Amino acid sequence: MAITVADDTLALQRLYHWERTTPDRVAYTQPLGGGAVRDLTWREVLDQTRRMAAWLQAQGWPAGSRIALLSKNTAHWLMTDFAIWMAGHVSVPLYPTLAAGTIRQILEHSEAKMLFVGKLDGWAGMKPGIPPGLPCVALPLAPPNDYPQWDDLIAKTAPLQGHPVRPADELSTIMYTSGTTGAPKGVMHTFGTFAWSVASGLKRVPQINNSARMLSYLPLSHVAERTLVEHGQLAVGMHVYFAESLETFTADLQRARPTVFFSVPRLWVKFQQGIHQKMPAAKLERLLKIPILRGIVKKKILTALGLDQCEFAAGGAAPMPPDLLRWYSKLGLDIVEVYGMTENCGVSHATLPGHPRPGTVGLPYEGIQSRLDPTTAEIQVKCPGLMLGYYKEPELSKAAFTDDGWLKTGDKGALDGEGNLRITGRVKDLFKTSKGKYVAPAPIEDRLVMHGAIEACCVTGANLGQPLALAMLNAVAAAEAASAAGRAALEASLAAHVKAINEQLDPHEQLDCLVVTVDPWTVDNDLITPTFKVKRNRIEDMFAANYERWVGARKTVLWLER
């Protein structure tokens, strides 16, 4: 589909706009450690960007060379991206939690000419993934290294002059997906696909404007943060704050007081569980029913979260449990559920602000066409924001689209009476029991994760008589399970939870058992993606040999011992 966007909406043109019109306005607030922060104005951002762009051009690489970026979110992550574009190249962002083998795979597959290394945890484990001889530059806040330093390079390099621009149809970035199955694929996007997608999204969200504040903490290598934070800021000029670490996240939120906040379901669940640890659910429910106290309690909770000034809250990257959305709504925070994928800049559907529709992802954004495959119910979309394809993967690229140019999302869906889209599972996640019945795991997982002790779960059981579930406990519940009494109480509570869920399911969907682990599922042990999606295939690889034994134990709750 042809892209029609105004030149002044493209990324570099927006960057020059803020340099020209608001040079002294603060663009970023960057933590430096120990509670110290640094504000960077658009003037400073462009000065550093122009100097690094000039240094990149001086390396003599052909236009359109791939330049990789491995770092947690910082102001310099974004300045690096801008410099790569300004110098005429293509950025290849890597998740800052990748294992060395995946880092090497992406750097070699993308044919990266160099790598920027920034703020990272676990650098010692990542460094072996960098191919010998690949030039590297260290950003501020990077772990100790012997690479050329950003600050030194820009100090001795004059700023690139003029206003070099890139046309809408030119490749801007290759984003390697963190897919739940298989090797990462390099999604190719142009300057135009991002500009069109952001413009479409902003028409529905007036709260994202020049006076907005956002906290950037989800990986900037992920499409949601890339679209919402990077390209959203370029579009409207909002103030972006950065988080320092998981340990300081609450303080980071308190400092930023974001007016716009996006998160994945797992963090929204963590927020809820943290509140219930301080105020039991039953007590909170009672207080919210008392008119004179209701407003005070809501304000106190949202202030404690750092979300008392939030005007637009959203969740996505995985299904949001409907009960969780309803719970936040009682606090006065209506969470918009958004739906999209790397292949369409993350912009496809969303519920409307102020009109929650729990259990759905709402309606398509303006200019986006959506349909369901009549045979498989797969969701398919078409718009000018679709990827060019997967880098160096012509067969996979062809398979991602229908013959008439619609993107195949891989998700199954259904429409309600208002046309709102409900995600019913993955086309390939459906599994068949030995009784010949298909089970969609996602709706069952949505119910399971609403127990206060469960942080993540996976429903599985292909070829068994009934499905079963595995669940990872959160840190508080895992500590309680360390004692015999605590484990017994938790087991009884989880068994009651499973019983209540089974009563809402069709007979062929009912869970035979719940297998509980206190060991965390992490990116490092390859059980979740960097955006906290459970890797269903890895769970099955690790545990499928035990399924029949677990079912044969005839217990509702079992413990996966170390």
Instruction: Quickly list DSSP for 358-393.
Output: TT---EEPTT-EEEE-TTT-EEEEE-TT---EETT-
List, for residues 100-135, the tens digit of each pLDDT value: 888 999 999 999 999 999 999 989 999 999 999 999
Contact 174, 391 (CB under 8 A): yes
Given its phi and psi angles, is residue 268 left (phi above 0), alpha (psi -120 to 50 degrees) or beta?
alpha
Fold of domain 431-559: GMP Synthetase; Chain A, domain 3 (3.30.300)
Predicted local distance difference test score (pLDDT) of residue 431: 76
Predicted local distance difference test score (pLDDT) of residue 100: 87
Domain limits, the chain? 16-165+208-240, 260-308+311-426, 431-559
Tokens of 168: 């809408």
Predicted local distance difference test score (pLDDT) of residue 182: 57
List, for residues 292-329, the tens digit of each pLDDT value: 888 898 999 899 888 999 999 998 877 777 888 888 88
Does the pLDDT at position 368 exceed 70? Answer: yes
**Dihedral of alpha carbons 108, 109, 115, 116, sign:** negative
Domain 16-165+208-240: CATH class, spelled out: alpha beta
Within a 10 A sphere around the Cβ of 257, how many other Cβ atoms?
Answer: 16
Does the pLDDT at position 180 exceed 60? Answer: no
Write down the residue that tokens 């413009």 correspond to: 199
List, for residues 233-286, the tens digit of each pLDDT value: 999 999 999 999 888 888 899 999 999 999 888 788 888 888 888 888 888 888
The string of DSSP codes covering 147-207 is: SPBHHHHHHTSPPPPS-----TTSEEEEEE---SSSS--EEEEEHHHHHHHHHHHHTT-TT
Do 260-308+311-426 and 431-559 come out as alike in CATH topology? no
How far is the C-alpha of 55 from the C-alpha of 146, rounded, in Å? 19
Q: What mean pLDDT value characterizes the chain?
A: 91
Predicted local distance difference test score (pLDDT) of residue 139: 98
Predicted local distance difference test score (pLDDT) of residue 425: 75
List, for residues 218-234, the tens digit of each pLDDT value: 899 989 899 999 999 99
Predicted local distance difference test score (pLDDT) of residue 14: 97
List, for residues 32-88, the tens digit of each pLDDT value: 988 899 999 999 999 999 999 999 999 999 999 999 999 999 999 999 999 999 999
Phi, psi for residue 543 in degrees, rounded to 5: -120, -10
R_g over Cα of the chain: 24
Percentage of residues in the chain with pLDDT exceeding 70?
A: 98
Q: How far is CA 295 from CA 88, 187, 300, in A?
A: 53, 46, 9
260-308+311-426: CATH superfamily: ANL, N-terminal domain (3.40.50.12780)
**Amino acid in the structure at residue 53:** A
Q: Name the DSSP class of 534.
A: B
List, for residues 352-365, the tens digit of each pLDDT value: 887 878 888 999 99
